[in-house]
Structure 1
Amino acid sequence: MAKIVKFTFDNNDEENLTQDSKESQNQTLDEREAIRKALEDHILANFAVKTILGIDFVYKINKNDIGVLGQIAYEHKRRPGVFVADYIAKGYKQKDRYVIDSLAFQLGEPEFYTQILNILKAKKALPDEE
């Protein structure tokens, strides 16, 4: 004997799509904040920067490699005034956090800057400038 089964369809598809898009936006915001924190930690630990006033960057993740291009406004430890500098950084993802292992300022270390640029190109982790 055959049994007839009736399915009722709701408009839950639209709700599911909006929930998925919200979750992906939250994930990218969390990812961006984690990369920002890793950048700030690396800069404050390795350079003569007293305070970071503002930081702007674009990033690209390819597998576990991270490439970052950006600009920073900061106060120097030994010189008075506010400075703005372009930088490039490369790093990696370690479990649930990001680690920046190399960072170079464009005007301060041009050779190291181009070296990191070439490494990121080879690893296909160089972000597109917006």
Structure 2
Amino acid sequence: MAERVVGGCKCGQIRYEGIRHEAATFRCHCRDCQQLTGSGHSEMLPLEIDTFSISETCKIFEMQGGSGQPTYSGFCPDCGSQLIRRSTRMADRIYVHASSLDNPAQYTPEKSIYADAAQPWDSNGIIKPL
């Protein structure tokens, strides 16, 4: 059975839902995620793009990803909650920030990416491959 995921921003203005994608969950230490979250990393859960819906009020910020292709970050224009990340390289999925899930227990990080960019004060958060 497909796992339904729902979530939203802190102020409640933006809601989203979708079905869990089979790709791995991850902890991203890239500089973009550090700056967007104000933390050492982001926690990302993939959803199938064709099942995903989000409130129209979600503000989208476009930037250039490490691949040189566009990536998109979505957040609430009122409370500032980070909600989504999307990349043109992985058009079949969209990632939601684990902190925005109604049920954060649906998230367990499976790997770290861009661990070489981790800040020294956040290096204990790197998930080592088995």
TM-score relative to the length of structure 2: 0.29
Compare the two structures and name the one with the higher helix fraction: 1
Q: Specify which structure has the bigger relative contact order, considering alpha-carbon pairs within 8 angstroms and separated by 6 or more residues.
A: 2
Structure of higher CA gyration radius:
1
- TM-score, length-scaled by structure 1: 0.29
